[in-house]
């Protein structure tokens, strides 16, 4: 039993984890003609909890309750993995990534999250406003505007040969490159790094 737990605790190579994630798409389609995606679950929660007659939330959310169970499984799986199957060894961050982050003023790496940005003490500061509030709003707006999240478009949409998903994924990538190389350095300076 310990050998199995040790094996599960280790990072899995891309050639195992990638196909497992990729096979989620046909399994969902074969089991119940369901589409893989995570961002729609927030809409289902809002539709279930908001009694207001907002047209966007006025639909049969119970028909999509499987998606809420799917997302709950993702959260529980993450908690179980962190509490039971976590690897006590330090996370390995590539030296080139460390150098790039140090050039932006990020020197502390705790669980792959720069503590200069992601910490409770910075939550109610200008950094928190920029990175959490503004960043969260932009991610939420972009997800709704694009008609889905990166996982929904890149994994499900492209596998179904949907042209809008190909276009959305291209622009997700372009946006990520633009953010990383052009906008993030400016935000870091504004936030006091």
Residues in a beta bridge with 113:
110
Global pTM value: 0.65
From residue 7, alpha-carbon distances to 12, 24, 126, 177 in Å are 9, 22, 43, 35
More confidently predicted of 122 and 78:
78
Residue range 81-98, pLDDT digits in tens: 888 877 666 667 778 887
Instruction: Please name the residue that has the structure tokens 């399994």.
Output: 27
Contact 152, 35 (CB under 8 A): yes
Span 131-155, mean pLDDT? 81
Lowest mean pLDDT among 52-61, 117-126, 156-165: 117-126
- Taking phi over 0 as left and psi of -120 to 50 as alpha, with beta for the rest, 192 belongs to left
User: Over the range 129-146, which residues count as b (16 or more CB within 10 Å of their CB) and which as e?
Assistant: ebbbeeeeeeeeebbeeb
Q: Both tokens of residue 47?
A: 């539709």
Torsion of CA 108, 113, 119, 123, to 10 degrees: 130
- Is the pLDDT reported for residue 174 higher than 90? yes
| Residue ranges of domains in the chain | 1-89, 91-193
- The number of angstroms, rounded, from the C-alpha of 146 to the middle of its chain's C-alpha atoms is 15
- pLDDT band for position 76 (cuts 50, 70, 90): very high
Span 131-158, mean pLDDT? 81
């Amino acid at each position: 039993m310990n050998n199995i737990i040790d094996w599960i605790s280790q990072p899995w190579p891309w050639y195992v984890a990638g196909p497992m994630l990729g096979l989620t798409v046909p399994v969902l389609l074969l089991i119940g003609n369901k589409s893989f995606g995570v961002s729609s679950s927030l809409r289902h929660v809002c539709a279930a909890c908001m009694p207001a007659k907002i047209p966007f939330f006025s639909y049969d959310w119970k028909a999509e309750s499987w998606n809420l169970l799917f997302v709950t499984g993702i959260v529980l799986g993450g908690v179980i993995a962190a509490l039971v199957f976590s690897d006590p060894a330090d996370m390995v961050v590539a030296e080139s990534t460390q150098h790039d982050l140090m050039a932006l003023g990020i020197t502390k790496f705790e669980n792959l999250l720069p503590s200069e940005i992601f910490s409770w003490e910075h939550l109610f500061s200008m950094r928190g406003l920029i990175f959490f509030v503004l960043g969260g709003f932009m991610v939420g707006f972009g997800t709704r505007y694009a008609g889905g999240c990166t996982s929904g478009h890149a994994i499900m949409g492209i596998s179904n040969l949907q042209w809008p998903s190909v276009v959305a994924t291209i622009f997700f990538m372009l946006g990520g490159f633009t953010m990383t190389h052009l906008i993030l350095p400016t935000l870091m300076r504004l936030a006091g790094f």
